[in-house]
Amino acid sequence: MLARVNTPEDLKALSLAELEELAAELREFIINTVAHTGGHLAPNLGVVELTLALYRVFDFPRDKIIWDVGHQCYVHKIITGRKERFGTLRQLGGVSGFPSREESPYDIFGTGHASTSISAALGLAKARDLAGDHYAVVAVIGDGALTGGMALEALNHAGHLQTDLIVVLNDNEMSISKNVGALANYLSRLRSDPAYRRLQEEFESLTSRLPGFGPRLRDFLSRLKGSVKYLVVPGMFFEELGFTYLGPVDGHHLPTLLRILERARALKGPVLVHVVTRKGKGYKPAEEDPDLYHGVGPFNPETGELYSSSLPTYTEIFGRTLVRLAEEDPRIVAITAAMPSGTGLKLFAQRFPHRFFDVGIAEQHAVTFAAGLAVGGYRPVVAIYSTFLQRAYDQIIHDVCLQRLPVVFALDRAGIVGEDGATHQGLFDLAYLRSIPHMVVMAPADENELQHMLKTALTHEGPIALRYPRGTGLGVTLDADPRPLPIGQGVVLREGRDVTLIAIGNMVPRALKAAEELAAQGISAAVINARFVKPLDIELILRYAKRTRWVVTIEEGILAGGFGSAVAECLTSHGLGEVKITRLGIEDTFVEHGHPEELRKKYGLDVQGIVRAVLQSRPLLRLTSRKTL
């Protein structure tokens, strides 16, 4: 069946039985592809029928669909002309794992960060109204993404505007881990409260026995104010916000889905369709452990066995060290915004359930919540991916740094993260954090330094951030005890006469290797592990700048305002503006998806790239003098 489907038009010609057959084939296709490429397996398996039903009822791309987070858009991509290229998913130059406007007119709005879909859909709906046009706008949002502040702000505004908008709530009781919060509890009651379900079923059955009149009665009652409505209308929360609530319905039963979506399409004003799905549907390992199979690397499709490295990840070292330090200090508390597994806090949650907080996909709240905990005498550690902390910029400035509160920011997935692509690269943190007064910013060169930096952070009386990369460390030996490092001090790893390579974080080992290769080419390079982006080790930098008269800074981050900029500022403000500086990092661009090492190569941040850049930027005078020597 899949062979017959290349565009949404092909789908419209299929019978219900054929659609069901197609759903099964799509699952197999996705499992086999993701087993090679890695990707978001469980979320996509959960929305196969929902996507087919949406495409059957609506006329995309004339109608518009926005996928929240966008990690569940694989079926959407496969049936909108990207089936043949789907094997390149998440690879450099291949199909993106998220909706992308550059890729297809069906991807009307790019996503990757959660909870944006309703705002964007509402904007689009309003643009339609202003232009006097008449297409449908649909936002598909998960129960996890619904915990994000933006989603709630948008519901509030949509209820006020009362324009035609369809929000499909894909409720699978899961964020990446189990979904949390009062709203999740409310959805759970809607789904499963037997008394409530019975009442709803009786009401549905009663009204459906009134031919022609039933649907009208249902709609009439749903518009009633007051207590009668509370008795018969489900989803009061959404109704009170100004939405017509439809559901909950089984998101794997195509006839029901088609019926409810047709009904939603016919209604005026904002409509919320509550669809209940199972994450990982149709693939046993993913159904049994949707958290593990939310996003995976390559795996064996027969068994579900994930191929993983034997080296511990930075995340694991962070998680283990935090537990260890928290054993000694009862003031330490940990906060995640819906990512206990990804940030390595699962261990902490098991060991200290009362000192652990999963706040939902609510990074802004997480930061200000941490500020409150700090004021109350605790030592909060907010563990958030670099890219997602961008959300909480004002909270970092206004609630934490301005008040000089001792909040520790553990920024995982800093630098190039790889296959998730532009929305997820952690390339801005050094630039956005270092400009904030009172903030200390550091990055470990390896996993051993990570444990010392965490200890440093928890000993510091003020805001402090450590950023570390995705994936495994170098496999270095860990010191027995984490110890505080002197704040603002770098370390010299190698002496040299011609040039000083000043590297930060995961670029340090690469700088060392580059120095070895440069030595073979007759260039004597000193190497400094800066450790701190803020405060900089000014004395050390000036000493080496005066000595070699040429410094090369190396960072896995955006150049504008980043670590190299900090060093350049340092040189000019200390009268060394004439010292040559070469800054290596990411130029003014968004880095696409691909394997991290391929991307490093492309952007000149692998060892060869560093060597090349040093050779190319070698000062002319030096070149001449070497030649004459």
Ligand X SMILES: CC(=O)[C@@H](O)[C@H](O)COP(=O)(O)O
Ligand Y SMILES: Cc1ncc(C[n+]2csc(CCOP(=O)(O)OP(=O)(O)O)c2C)c(N)n1
Interhelix angle 48-57/254-266, nearest 10 degrees: 40
Residue 420 binds: one of Mg ion, ligand X, ligand Y, none (C-beta under 5 to 8 A by kind): ligand X
Asked if 379 and 329 touch (Cβ cutoff 8 Å), the reply is yes
Q: Does 609 contact Mg ion by CB under 5 A?
A: no
Supply 445's token pair: 């060169």
Q: Which of residues 90-109 bind Mg ion (CB under 5 A)?
A: none
Select 251 or 290, whichever has its Cβ closest to ligand X: 290
Q: Does 144 contact Mg ion by CB under 5 A?
A: yes
CA distance 107 to 100: 6
**Smallest separation, CB 116 to Mg ion (Å):** 16
Q: Look at residue 521 and give its three-state secondary structure.
A: coil
**Smallest separation, CB 517 to ligand X (Å):** 31
* The total number of residues written for the chain in this structure: 629
Q: Any long-range contacts for 133-136 (C-beta under 8 Å, 24+ apart)? A: 135/59, 135/62, 135/63, 135/64, 136/58, 136/59, 136/63, 136/64, 136/164, 136/166, 136/265
Residue 361 binds: one of Mg ion, ligand X, ligand Y, none (C-beta under 5 to 8 A by kind): ligand Y
Which of 82, 218, 355, 391 does the annotation list as catalytic?
391
- In DSSP terms, 558 is beta-bridged to 586
Find the part of the chain contacting ligand Y (CB under 6 A) among 131-139, 198-206, 333-341, 618-626.
333-341
Q: Does 279 contact ligand Y by CB under 6 A?
A: yes
Select 420 or 606, whichever has its Cβ closest to ligand X: 420
- In DSSP terms, 594 is beta-bridged to none
Residue 410's closest CA among 463, 477, 349? 463
Residue 470 binds: one of ligand X, ligand Y, Mg ion, none (C-beta under 5 to 8 A by kind): ligand X
CA distance 370 to 463: 11
Q: Does 113 contact ligand Y by CB under 6 A?
A: yes
Q: Does 271 contact ligand Y by CB under 6 A?
A: no
The single residue among 56, 71, 252, 467 that binds ligand X, judged by CB under 6 A, is 71
Binding site membership for thiamine diphosphate: which residues?
71, 112-114, 144-145, 172, 283, 363
**Smallest separation, CB 34 to ligand X (Å):** 13
Burial string for 134-147 (b: 16+ CB within 10 Å, else e) reads: eebbbbbbbbbbbb
Query: From residue 289 to residue 328, what is the string marking binding to ligand X with x (rule CB under 6 A)?
Result: -----xx---------------------------------
CA distance 448 to 443: 12
Q: Does 413 contact ligand X by CB under 6 A?
A: yes
Nearest-CB residue for Mg ion: 142
The single residue among 291, 363, 420, 555 that binds ligand X, judged by CB under 6 A, is 420
The single residue among 26, 34, 45, 69 that binds ligand Y, judged by CB under 6 A, is 69
Find the part of the chain contacting ligand X (CB under 6 A) among 391-399, 413-421, 562-570, 604-612.
413-421
Select 412 or 537, whichever has its Cβ closest to ligand X: 412
**Smallest separation, CB 377 to ligand X (Å):** 32
**Smallest separation, CB 175 to Mg ion (Å):** 6
Q: Does 142 contact Mg ion by CB under 5 A?
A: yes
Distances in Å between the Cα of 501 and the Cα atoms of 65, 240, 519 are 49, 61, 13
Q: Is 279 a catalytic residue?
A: yes
Supply 590's token pair: 């968004």
Residue 322 binds: one of Mg ion, ligand X, ligand Y, none (C-beta under 5 to 8 A by kind): none
For residue 307, how many other CB atoms are within 10 A of its CB? 11
Q: Does 175 contact ligand Y by CB under 6 A?
A: yes
The single residue among 72, 364, 456, 565 that binds ligand Y, judged by CB under 6 A, is 72
Q: Classify residue 446 as exposed, middle or buried by CB count within 10 Å of its CB (0-12, 13-18, 19+).
A: buried
Q: Classify residue 90 as exposed, middle or buried by CB count within 10 Å of its CB (0-12, 13-18, 19+).
A: buried
Phi, psi of 273 (to 5 degrees): -105, 115
What is the size of the binding site for Mg ion (CB under 5 A)? 5
Q: Any long-range contacts for 182-186 (C-beta under 8 Å, 24+ apart)? A: 183/143, 183/146, 183/147, 183/237, 184/143, 184/147, 184/360, 186/237
Asked if 275 and 139 touch (Cβ cutoff 8 Å), the reply is no
Select 419 or 498, whichever has its Cβ closest to ligand X: 419
Select 70 or 490, whichever has its Cβ closest to Mg ion: 70
The single residue among 49, 63, 107, 143 that binds Mg ion, judged by CB under 5 A, is 143
The single residue among 338, 396, 518, 533 that binds ligand Y, judged by CB under 6 A, is 338
Which of 279, 467, 534, 583 does the annotation list as catalytic?
279
Asked if 515 and 496 touch (Cβ cutoff 8 Å), the reply is yes
Q: Look at residue 552 and give its three-state secondary structure.
A: strand
- Cα dihedral 73, 358, 462, 567 in deg (nearest 10): -20
The residues, ordered by sequence, that sit 6+ positions from 418 with a Cβ below 8 Å of its Cβ are 470, 593, 594, 595, 596, 599
Known catalytic residues are: 279, 363, 391
Applying CB under 5 A, the residues found at the interface with Mg ion are 142-144, 172, 174
Q: Which residues bind ligand Y (CB under 6 A)?
A: 43, 46, 69, 71-72, 113-114, 142-145, 170, 172, 174-176, 279, 337-339, 361, 363, 388, 391
Which residues bind to ligand X, rule: CB under 6 A?
A: 40, 69, 71, 176, 294-295, 342, 413, 417, 420, 470
